[in-house]
Amino acid sequence: MRYIFNFRVPTTFSYLVVIILFSCQTSVFSQITITQNDMPSAGDTVRKSFALDFTGIDFSVTGENYLWDFSQLKPASQTVDTFVTVSSVPFLYQLVFIPNIVANVAQKYTGLENFPQVPITDPYRFYKKSSNAFNDVGYAATISGIPVPLRLNPADVIYKLPLAYGNIDSSDASGQLGVPDIGYVSIQRKRLNEVDGWGTLITPYGEYDVLRLKSSVMETDSVYVDTLNFGQQIVRKYTEYKWLTNGKQQPLLEVTEENAITQVTYIDSIFDPGVGIEKADIRKPKIYIAPNPIIDKAIIVVELSEPEYITISLINMAGIKIKRVFSGNLPAGKHFQTLNLSDSKPASGVYLIQVEWNGKSTAKRLIIQ
């Protein structure tokens, strides 16, 4: 005898089963949330690599449950972000960035370049983190022996916390400071943040679940340097892409695009940048440019270790000479030249200041707006 059972699953029960199955599935593939626990604290150190060659990579692509495979990135150089307590920085900085009130974490800053006749020491960036936000509240450095703190008030909201897919926020930050006999600087910055993707990121460092944050930034920087009798206002527009995960304090990958310039940094393990690199030529002239980017004028400083006949030129990225700035014999030391493009300004973009000496050449990148 054969029995046939016609068993109907109640509709409500069917829905319940589907919900349970869906919940199990999304628990595996759901996006993460970034909180203040994922922000840097005093004592943290994060090693980062600057990518060497990323031609052909489109960093703007994004989506839901997206796979970003950037495993082909190669390191050119490295830096280590070091975070300390605000109470450990020079005391005069603390008068502006009051510990645990204005700022509660400081970062030893590596983004400043010493300019001849304007020595810069003890540079720091200051942040205030809370359950609601991670804010950039300003910078400080000692310039020619004088402590110079620049507070952003209102602050630049780097992350509105907790950070989750679909979040959109904006902030307006500003700060200004004038120091007698040194100069004046002001910053106005508008930031629009959007968490526009989530998924998996692969870099040489590993594979992680991430949120992708896109930040569109408009910034106006005004600078005047008394010692050079030179000043300029620069309007910058750039886009930042950050891929964040839990427990890493800093973005796993950060990309900044400004004009034709792209900078890529990612958290990495230590590597030996000296392998396969020839010993540096100690006679190679050092080049300094300020400001950079420029509108129509810049001061170029060339530092020579011994007397040389040199030629300073502005060239484009194809190696074509646009303008000769200087040519002649110079003694050892620092030499100032002015690049003036008021009469024949080339198109906006990326160029090089090239210094030729003794059959060799070196160059430094210059952005013309």
- Residue 115 is predicted with a pLDDT of 60
d(CA 138, CA 128): 10
List, in order of start, the domains of the chain with CATH numbers. Answer: 36-267 (no CATH), 286-368 (2.60.40.1930)
User: DSSP 3-state assignment of 203?
Assistant: strand
Distances in Å between the Cα of 139 and the Cα atoms of 45, 136, 149, 156 are 19, 9, 6, 12
* pLDDT surpasses 70 at 21: no
Residue type, 273: P
| Average pLDDT of the residues in 115-135 | 88
Q: What is the band of 18 on the pLDDT scale with cuts at 50, 70, 90?
A: very low
Q: What is the band of 66 on the pLDDT scale with cuts at 50, 70, 90?
A: very high
d(CA 150, CA 178): 9
Q: What percent of the chain has pLDDT over 90?
A: 54
The helix (run of H) or strand (run of E) holding residue 323 is: strand 321-330
* pLDDT surpasses 50 at 277: no
The 10s digit of each residue's pLDDT in 68-101 is: 999 999 887 788 999 999 999 999 999 999 999 9
**72-88 as b/e: b if 16+ CB within 10 A:** ebebeebeebbbbebee
d(CA 210, CA 216): 19
The 10s digit of each residue's pLDDT in 96-115 is: 999 999 999 999 987 665 56
The 10s digit of each residue's pLDDT in 281-340 is: 567 888 888 887 888 888 899 999 899 999 999 988 777 888 999 999 999 988 999 999
| CA angle (60, 66, 72) in 5-degree steps | 65
SS (H, E, C) 38-86: HCCCCCCEEEEEEECCCCCCCCCCCCCCEEEECCCCCEEEEEEEEEECH
Q: 264, 350, 275, 271: which is closest to 315 by C-alpha?
A: 350
* pLDDT surpasses 90 at 123: yes
Q: What percent of the chain has pLDDT over 70?
A: 86
pTM value surpassing 0.75:
no
- Residue 30 is predicted with a pLDDT of 64
Q: What is the band of 118 on the pLDDT scale with cuts at 50, 70, 90?
A: low
The 10s digit of each residue's pLDDT in 205-239 is: 999 999 999 999 999 998 887 777 778 888 899 99
Residue with tokens 């016609």: 6
d(CA 46, CA 32): 21
Residue with tokens 């009469």: 343
Token output for 159: 């992350």
The 10s digit of each residue's pLDDT in 323-359 is: 999 999 999 988 999 999 888 888 887 788 999 998 8
Q: What is the band of 132 on the pLDDT scale with cuts at 50, 70, 90?
A: very high
Residue type, 99: P
